[in-house]
Amino acid sequence: MPAPEIPNLKSLLASRRGGQQRGRGRGILTSGAKHESSDADKDRAVQNTDQDAATSRLSCIELGYLEDPFAKAFATQPTIRRLPLLNRGTYVRTTAIDILVDKFLSTSPTELKQIVSLGAGTDTRYYRILSKYPSIKVIYHEFDFPSNTATKIATIQKTPSLLAQIRQSLLDPSDLKISVDKTFLTSPFYNIHAIDLRTFSTSPAPTIPNLSATTPTLLLSECCLIYLQPADASAILFSFLTTLIPAPTPVAVVLYEPIRPHDAFGRTMEANLASRNIHLHTLKKYGSLTRQRIRLKSAGFEHGFKAADTGFIWQKWIAEEEKERVAALEMLDEFEELELLLTHYCVAWGWRDRGEEALFGKAWAEVQEQERDDEVG
Amino acid sequence: MSDLDRAIAQLRACRPIPEYQVRELCYKARELLIEEGNVVGVDAPVTICGDIHGQFHDLMELFRVGGDVPDTNYLFMGDFVDRGFYSLESFLLLLCLKVRYPDRITLIRGNHESRQITTVYGFYDECLRKYGSANVWRYCCEVFDYLALGALVIGAATNLEPSDAPFADPTSQASMQTEDQDIEIETLNANGEIMFRFPRNHDASQSSQATSQPSSSPIIDTPSRTGPSGTSATSSANGSRGNDGGAVLCVHGGLSPLIDTIDKIRLLDRKQEVPHEGAMCDLLWSDPDEIDGWGLSPRGAGFLFGADIVKCFNYKNDLSLIARAHQLVMEGFKEMFDSTIVTVWSAPNYCYRCGNVAAILELGEDGSNAGYMRRSNGDVGRRQSSVLTERGRDGPGRRYRVFDAAPQDSRGMPAKKPVADYFL
């Protein structure tokens, strides 16, 4: 384990006596939470998963797994060097979603596109897209808890390079608006919405400023919907597919989340995260590749519903020379564990196209799905 | 009470000892280890253990299940440090026990007993955190350089002494009755109850019956049972075809294309950091695999080696079995290649994340000294040993004790529930 994660025996004693810790040893902070935790505590635990992911991302960037000049600006914690197998997993996760997003954006590149990132947190994908595809027009929406959007917007405001990127895509820089409480950022192209995703299952469903109902849209959920109750998670997909972006506008979704909760590793994962107050509410319901496919199909992504675990994705989606590059970055000893870890996360992607046009069908025609699914639903 | 006994008591409570004591301990350990050959000779009975990886509380559980030092004779096959939160306490305790009872515990080197690996996988950081300087890490690394590369167990009994242990599942008792048969493999749970018992194949005339027996056993298809799935005897093997009376080679990783005899291991200059390549590196890094001959290892060090390599090596060196560690196996142990090699893994719920069980391997003492003369002490139904000598040699009887991770907060030690990382 990297240094900041090894419990210091002295600090353990201090915290047992009620000593306060800030900023480090997040395990110690949460592991004491054996008492009944409030809903607010649980929400905070979910919100904090973003910083966890951001830390993993930074570790990958520092070591050369990923390229992302924008991530550093959003980091609130010093870079922690993660273990090689975690870096590998973060690399596969990010690269897998990048592949699907890139194929979407580069199919009919002149057409306006829309991306909705659920539980976006400090994700930098919008900025990476802007710098990679300067001529592509994309409306981008990020959703998260107000506490997370406020932090992100504050960072944007104090980081000239980020502001410049956003303004560059606008015809009139004054189109960029930030709410008084600084939890909303709106513009014709880039939007950050402070919305609790659970409100989609209440009526009326929230309205989303600047969301286009007629633009081909990709929904992203990178470890987001899994923290919601199954009914809430379904309500979000339902809202987007019906009221917010009705047919025939093409809509697709890319999910990245844990699967296979029933074996020893899966059971341990669920228990370990529960002790950190993180509950994977939809894990059992969508616990296999087959179940993920059925989920996408029955949600209304009727033209395609596919899934693969990240072990498969590392094997099949990443080019050999890129695999060699990544394998050479760090000495990785823990192969059996890496295999376990990678096979317990999946990417699922599904779409609803507009008749013959088949935008997503074309974009993802070559993306290989995993046939084998050894977990019996 | 001597200083050493005091240090042992303190470490058993999972409390680190002061730096000056570590220095002294490491000095004594080095004096002891320097006298050992690259391949340490160990007499059965012995309990063989795999990776520990700083999971101190699980090491305590191991001692509870396998018996304490010096009552039980132990052989640890390396990877004491890294990954877990208590590498320091785990390694220092084992080292203290080594200095205190040198003839009752053998430590050999794993690929994590290296300066380079420990700086990546946690032991260096842990020393820095617990002592504020890297001195203790340095002392430990100097000891690493002196650890033996392998061990050779001699005098192991061909069959297990029948134990009067109860069966974990009494309904399965009937199908595992072996009153008139010799026991080759037995798997016990942490409570000492028999989960699985496998009789030895006696001769060709009986082999068809004996091989059909394990495959039709209901236990094999039951995933909750950890024993049989780790036992290749249940799938491909017709019981052991090892060499009766042969020794058991213990090494952390596996074989090397540069080593065809154990004597060649003895000739290596081991007192150095683990090199990136070469025979010493291979012994600590290689893995058996379902291939022919040698293959490249995905680990970037060591090699993959197939059944032909193992069988040839065992034959040439008069070995009945190779015991190694190095690879996580969910069932705690895994026999391969007709039981000519076994992986033993002793870190349950590895990294507090993997959900696996752990195992240790007990080899009994052959009462007849010669290794292939069976004890004829009037046991009912024992067969003539001449049967054995006719068909060649059998591997040692193997008793696996399988155990789970130690329960948290149960031993009065600072055992905060560790946090395993996931993708969130």
A278 chain-B contacts, CB cut-off 8 A? 424
CA B310 to mean position of chain CA atoms = 17
∠ CA B153-B157-B162, nearest 5°, is: 135
* Interchain contact, B117 vs A333, CB within 8 Å: yes
Alpha carbon A48 to its chain's center: 13
Which range, A205-214, B68-77, B169-178, has the best average confidence (pLDDT)? B68-77
B83 touches chain A (CB under 8 A): yes
- Distance in Å, alpha carbon of B422 to nearest chain A alpha carbon: 8
A68–chain B nearest CA distance, Å: 18
- Whether residues A223 and B421 touch (CB distance < 8 A) is answered with no
User: Looking at the domain that runs over A35-363, which CATH code has it been given?
Assistant: 3.40.50.150
Contact B418 A93 (CB under 8 A): no
A72 vs B237, which has greater pLDDT?
A72
* Chain A residue closest in CA terms to B328: A336
Beta strand pairing status for A177-178 and A185-186?
Answer: antiparallel
- Kindly determine whether residue B355 and residue A28, on different chains, have CB atoms separated by under 8 Å: no
Shortest CA gap B113–chain A (Å):
13
> Does A257 appear as a known binding residue?
no
Q: Is B299 on the interface with A (CB under 8 A)?
A: yes
**Given CB atoms, is B130 within the 8 Å cutoff of chain A?**
yes
ipTM attached to this prediction: 0.79
In sequence order, which ranges of B122-203 are alpha helices (DSSP H)? 123-131, 135-144
Q: Give the residue on B whose Cα is nearest the Cα of A81.
A: B120
Q: Is A172 exposed, middle or buried (0-12, 13-18, 19+ CB in 10 A)?
A: exposed
Chain B: nearest CA to A130, how far in angstroms? 25
Rounded CA-CA distance A364/A350 in Å is 10
Interchain proximity A1–B328, CB inside 8 Å: no
Tell whether A82 is within 8 A of chain B (Cβ).
Answer: yes
What is the rounded end-to-end Cα distance, in angstroms, of chain A? 34
Q: What is the CA radius of gyration of chain B?
A: 21
pLDDT at A53: 87
What is the sign of the dihedral through the CA atoms of B40, B400, A332 and A335?
positive
Cis-peptide into B45, omega within 30 deg: yes
> Is A222 among the annotated ligand-binding positions?
yes
Cβ-based neighbours of A153, under 8 Å, separated by 6 or more: A178, A182, A183, A184, A185, A192
Distance from the Cα of residue B259 to its chain's centroid: 21
Write out chain B residues lying below 8 Å of A266, CB-based.
Answer: 355
Q: Determine contact: A29 vs chain B, CB below 8 A.
A: no
Q: Where are the domains of chain A?
A: 35-363
CATH number, position B69: 3.60.21.10
Nearest to A53 among B120, B125, B424 (CB): B424
**Token digits for B90?**
């785990």
What is the rounded CA–CA span in Å between residue A89 and residue A100?
17
Do the beta carbons of residue A176 and residue A185 sit within 8 Å? yes
Beta-carbon contacts of residue A110 (< 8 Å; ≥ 6 apart): none
Residue B165 confidence class, pLDDT cut points 50, 70, 90: confident
**Cβ contact A273–B422 (<8 Å):** yes
Whether B418 sits inside 8 A of A53 (CB atoms) is no
In the prediction, which pLDDT does B30 show? 97
Residues of chain B numbered 348-407 and touching chain A (CB < 8 Å): 349-356
Backbone angles phi, psi at A191, to 5 degrees: -140, 140
Provide the pLDDT for residue A37.
67
How far is it, in rounded angstroms, from Cα A370 to Cα A359? 22
pLDDT band for position B169 (50/70/90)?
confident
A196 annotated ligand binder: yes
pLDDT at position B230: 44
Query: What CA–CA distance (Å, rounded) separates B396 from B394?
Result: 7
Containing A167, the helix (H) or strand (E) segment is: helix A160-168
**Which of B85, B128, B301 is facing A7, going by the closest CB pair?**
B85
Chain B positions touching A90 (Cβ under 8 A) are 423
Highest mean pLDDT among A44-48, B213-217, B303-307, B386-390: B303-307
Given A6, A82, A331, which is nearest B421 (Cβ)?
A82
Cα–Cα distance measured from residue A123 to residue A141, given in angstroms and rounded to the nearest whole number:
12
User: CB count, 10 Å around CB of B236?
Assistant: 13
A139: β partners: A114
Query: B-chain residues within 8 Å CB-CB of A82?
Result: 421
* Rounded-to-integer distance, Cα B153 and Cα B314, Å: 13
Q: What is the enclosing helix (H) or strand (E) of B249? A: strand B247-251
At residue B206, does pLDDT exceed 70? no
Contact map slice: B 316-335 vs A, CB within 8 A? 327-330
User: Chain A within 8 Å of B189 (Cβ-Cβ)?
Assistant: no
Does the annotation place A93 within a ligand binding site? yes
Domain-embedded: residue B369: yes
How much is the average pLDDT of B88-107? 98
DSSP lists the bridge partners of residue B360 as: B49, B401
**Per-residue pLDDT at B80:** 98
- Tens digit of each residue's pLDDT, chain A (377 residues): 443 343 333 333 333 333 333 333 333 333 434 445 688 888 888 888 888 888 899 999 999 999 999 998 988 777 888 889 999 999 999 999 999 999 999 999 999 999 999 999 999 999 999 999 988 999 999 999 999 999 999 999 999 999 988 998 888 888 999 999 999 999 999 999 999 999 988 877 788 999 999 999 999 999 999 999 999 999 999 999 999 999 999 999 999 999 999 999 999 999 999 988 999 999 999 999 999 999 999 999 999 999 999 999 999 999 999 999 999 998 888 889 999 999 999 999 999 999 888 999 999 999 999 987 655 44
Buried b (16+ CB within 10 A) or exposed e, B119-156: ebbbbbbbbbbbbeeeebbebbbbbbbbbbbbbbbebb
What is the chain A residue with the closest CA to B15? A9
Run of H or E residues at B204: helix B204-216
Which residues of chain B have a CB within 8 Å of the CB of A273?
422
- Domain ranges, residue B289: 20-376+396-411
Confidence of residue B288 (pLDDT cuts 50, 70, 90): very high
Chain B residues within an 8 Å CB radius of A263: 355
Mutation pick from A283, A333, A339 vs chain B, by most beta carbons of B within 10 Å, is A333
Does some domain include residue B383? no
Residue B385 lies in a domain: no
> Does B3 have pLDDT greater than 60?
yes
Residues 6+ positions from A205 with CB-CB distance below 8 Å: A199, A235, A239, A243, A244
Q: What is the pLDDT averaged over residues B54-68?
A: 96
Task: Give the CB-side neighbour count of residue A215, counting CA atoms within 13 A.
Answer: 21
Beta bridge partners, A113, equal A138
**Chain B contact for A340, CB < 8 A?**
yes
Q: How far is CA A172 from the centre of its chain?
A: 30
Nearest CA in chain A to B129: A8
The pLDDT of residue A36 is 53
- In the A/B pair of chains, how many CB contacts fall below 8 A? 117
The pLDDT score that the predictor gives to residue B418 is 61
Structural domains in chain B (count): 1
Residue from B92, B128, B284, B421 to probe the interface with A (highest A Cβ count within 10 Å): B421
- The amino acid present at B355, given as its one-letter code, is G
pLDDT in tens, B122-134: 999 999 999 999 9
Q: Which long-range contacts (CB under 8 A, 24 or more apart) does A167-173 make?
A: A168/A130, A169/A130
Is there a contact between A112 and A137 (Cβ–Cβ < 8 Å)? Answer: yes
Q: What integer pLDDT is reported at residue B245 of this predicted model?
A: 62
pLDDT averaged over chain B? 84
Q: Which of B300, B356, B414 shows the shortest C-beta gap to A12?
A: B414
Binary contact (B416, A12; C-beta < 8 A): yes
Smallest CA–CA distance from B127 into chain A, residue: A3
> Looking at the partner chain, which of B128, B330, B416 has a beta carbon nearest the beta carbon of A28?
B416
Q: List active site positions of B.
A: 112
Task: Give the Cα separation of B228 and B5 in Å (integer).
Answer: 40
CB contact under 8 A, B125 and A275: no
Helix (H, G, I), strand (E, B) or coil at B340: coil
Q: How many angstroms separate the CA of residue B298 from the nearest CA in chain A? A: 8
CB B411 within 8 A of CB B60: yes
**A275: chain B residues, CB-CB within 8 Å:** 417
User: Which uninterrupted H or E stretch holds A57?
Assistant: helix A39-62
- Compute the distance between CA of residue A258 and CA of residue A345 in angstroms, rounded to an integer: 4
Reading the block at residue A373, the tokens are: 């699914």
Hey, are the CB atoms on A267 and B424 less than 8 Å from each other? no
Closest CA to A225 of A119, A304, A348, A306: A119
Identify which of A6, A52, A327 has the shortest CB distance to residue B85. Answer: A6
